[in-house]
């Protein structure tokens, strides 16, 4: 979810000078190699500390405990020897060593969460740390999902020999959830103007509508036509990418509408490229950039130039070096190939031959890597 409010700290962090080690709190200038100091007590995490450290003494202290006034360093226990009340130090201490000063992480009343921030586990811990037990978050955008096609049957139906199950509604619902939206699955529309019109009308009641199929050049690809008749304005109706070329985007009756191509890998790729960032924006967050990284190409590639290509691929890490190899696939209908991939290899439109060892862009599948 995305935060819709500002959260401020309730006090300074840390709230006291905090020891980061188990050891002895000392006055740094008194500690040189071989020096012995009398240990006058111990301080555990959570103990109330009021007395100052007297000159010529030290106090045993645990990680997370408050450093007493007068002390300005903590010597790790590993560099000391204990003989009754006497502690002998093997090293010199430096002022400030192993202490996080009060207020050095955050001041009191400092803003630590802002509207538009995505609430990951770190942000939740921050809110918890300052006692923000209730948080106002943006409503998850409701995203209607409508697949199209006369050949499509529900996943629990037995398909006829030339029919296919509606996997797109399932993958799109998962993608909407992962992107931070609330999927509203509307089922499938036949390749008929009336059925499409009725179901699109229903979809436009939600915050955004995502269609799959029916946006190519075929005689029964009616999505754009029906949307146009309903008053849609298109911002693009083709993209120089493969897979995903026929993707369309527009507004219809005030709602953003995405017409994604029906081939499953095209549907998945175009969702991530266009719909996921829209869900960010509808949630009040900044649109996230594609998580691209550089990798060394394993097997050489020979691609047709003219469009940006997204190839199912596997990236493996050998030490710190990522090496990527494209997988064999049968094109944008091949979900099985994508199932073996952990990333897409991104080939810019102007590239043709790419040699082994060249640096290439890799787009990680964020749900599995």
Instruction: Select 214 or 246, whichever has its Cβ closest to Mg ion.
Output: 214
Which of 164, 174, 327, 349 contacts ligand AMP by CB under 6 A?
164
Whether 81 contacts 90, CB under 8 Å:
yes
Contact stretch for ligand AMP (CB under 6 A) within 22-30, 51-59, 177-185, 214-222: 214-222
Which of 288, 333, 351, 364 contacts ligand AMP by CB under 6 A?
333
CA nearest to 37, candidates 72, 70, 85, 78: 85
Which of 152, 173, 176, 345 contacts ligand AMP by CB under 6 A?
152
Question: Which DSSP helix (H) or strand (E) runs through 144?
Answer: strand 142-148
Q: From the CB of 172, what's the least distance to ligand AMP, in Å?
A: 9
Q: From the CB of 331, what's the least distance to ligand AMP, in Å?
A: 10
CB-closest chain residue to ligand AMP: 262
The answer to the question of residue 9 lying near ligand AMP (CB under 6 A) is no
User: Phi first, then psi: what are they for 327, rounded to 5°?
Assistant: -100, 155
The two structure tokens encoding residue 336: 């099985």
Instruction: Select 119 or 269, whichever has its Cβ closest to ligand AMP.
Output: 269
Which of 117, 261, 272, 329 contacts ligand AMP by CB under 6 A?
261
Please give the Cα distance from 280 to 272 (Å, whole number): 11
Size of the site for ligand AMP (CB under 6 A): 19
| DSSP state, residue 15 | S
Cross-strand bridge partners of residue 43: 61
The answer to the question of residue 308 lying near ligand AMP (CB under 6 A) is no
350: helix, strand or coil: coil
| 135-140, Cβ contacts within 8 angstroms, sequence gap of 24 or more | 135/3, 135/5, 135/7, 136/3, 136/4, 136/5, 137/1, 137/2, 137/3, 137/4, 138/1, 138/2, 138/3, 138/4, 138/283, 138/284, 138/285, 140/1, 140/180, 140/181, 140/182, 140/283
Whether 359 contacts 295, CB under 8 Å:
yes
Instruction: Select 75 or 268, whichever has its Cβ closest to ligand AMP.
Output: 268
The answer to the question of residue 149 lying near Mg ion (CB under 5 A) is yes
Whether 9 contacts 112, CB under 8 Å:
yes
The answer to the question of residue 116 lying near ligand AMP (CB under 6 A) is no
The answer to the question of residue 264 lying near ligand AMP (CB under 6 A) is yes
Which of 68, 181, 213, 312 contacts Mg ion by CB under 5 A?
213
- The contacts of residue 92 (CB under 8 Å, 6+ apart) are 31, 32, 33
The answer to the question of residue 261 lying near Mg ion (CB under 5 A) is no
Instruction: Select 58 or 189, whichever has its Cβ closest to ligand AMP.
Output: 189
From ligand AMP, Mg ion, none, interface partner of 166 (C-beta below 5 to 8 A by class)? ligand AMP
Instruction: Select 220 or 236, whichever has its Cβ closest to Mg ion.
Output: 220
Residues at the contact surface with Mg ion, assessed by CB under 5 A:
149, 213-214, 262
């Amino acid at each position: 979810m995305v935060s819709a409010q500002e959260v401020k700290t309730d006090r300074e962090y840390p709230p006291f000078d905090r020891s980061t080690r188990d050891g002895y709190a000392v006055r740094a200038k008194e500690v040189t190699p071989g020096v012995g100091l009398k240990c006058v007590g111990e301080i555990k995490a959570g103990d109330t500390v009021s007395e100052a450290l007297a000159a010529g003494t030290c106090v045993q202290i645990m990680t997370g405990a408050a450093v007493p006034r007068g002390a300005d360093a903590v010597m790790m226990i590993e560099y000391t020897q204990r003989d009754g009340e006497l502690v002998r130090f093997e090293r010199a201490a430096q002022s400030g060593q192993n202490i996080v000063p009060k207020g050095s992480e955050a001041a009191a009343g400092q803003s630590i969460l802002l509207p538009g921030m995505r609430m990951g586990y770190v942000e939740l811990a921050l809110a918890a740390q300052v006692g923000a037990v209730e948080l106002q978050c943006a409503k998850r955008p409701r995203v209607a999902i409508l697949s199209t096609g006369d050949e499509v049957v529900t996943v629990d139906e037995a398909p006829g020999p030339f029919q296919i199950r509606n996997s797109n509604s399932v993958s799109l619902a998962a993608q909407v959830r992962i992107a931070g939206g609330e999927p509203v699955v509307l089922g499938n529309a036949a390749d008929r103007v009336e059925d499409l019109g009725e179901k699109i009308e229903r979809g436009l009641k939600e915050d955004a509508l995502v269609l799959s199929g029916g946006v190519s050049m075929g005689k029964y690809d009616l999505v754009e036509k029906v949307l146009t008749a309903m008053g849609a304005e298109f911002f693009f109706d083709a993209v120089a990418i493969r897979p995903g070329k026929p993707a369309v985007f527009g507004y219809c009756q005030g709602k953003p509408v995405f017409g994604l191509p029906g081939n499953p890998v095209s549907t998945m790729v175009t969702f991530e490229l266009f719909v996921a960032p829209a869900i960010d924006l509808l949630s009040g967050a900044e649109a996230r950039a594609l998580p691209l990284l550089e990798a060394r190409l394993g097997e050489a590639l020979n691609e047709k130039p003219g469009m940006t290509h997204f190839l199912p691929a596997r990236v493996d890490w050998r030490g710190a070096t990522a090496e990527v190899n494209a997988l064999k696939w049968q094109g944008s209908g091949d979900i099985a190939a994508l199932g073996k991939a952990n990333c897409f290899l991104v080939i810019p439109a102007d590239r043709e031959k790419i040699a082994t060892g060249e640096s290439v862009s890799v787009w990680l599948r964020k749900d599995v890597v």
